[in-house]
Amino acid sequence: MGWASGSEIYGDLMSVIQKLVPDKNARKKFHLEAIDIFESFDCDTLCELLYDDDVDPAFVEAFKEAHADDDLYEEDEDGED
């Protein structure tokens, strides 16, 4: 399996988690752990999920927290995100 499909697999898991776990904080904790697991196996495509219309807000929070030290959210030279 190539990790190009990693975000697709994770997106399917995210849909299941949203249905089964109503508590947003519990989902965020799951996502923090799952992001770490996926990325430890060199899956670097999870950021693609941030642009899905039905992305779990708990995933967005977890992803940003997991990558808080990255430059993904810094402003560009024009002062825009």
Indicate whether 74 belongs to any domain: no
Q: Looking at the 3D structure of the chain, how many domains does it have?
A: 1
- 80 within a domain of the structure (yes/no): no
29 inside domain: yes
Render pLDDT for 3-50 as a digit per residue (tens, 0 to 9): 678 899 999 999 999 999 999 999 999 999 999 999 999 898 899 999
Beta carbons of 34 and 69 less than 8 angstroms apart: no
The answer to whether residue 78 is domain-embedded is no
Region class of 2: left (phi > 0), else alpha (psi between -120 and 50), else beta = beta
Q: Does residue 81 lie in a domain region?
A: no
Contact 7, 48 (CB under 8 A): yes
Which of 80, 74, 9, 67 is CA-nearest to residue 38? 9
Whether 52 is covered by a domain: the verdict is yes
Q: Does 71 reside within a domain?
A: no
Amino acid identity, position 40: S
17 found inside a domain: yes
Q: Is the pLDDT of residue 2 over 90?
A: no
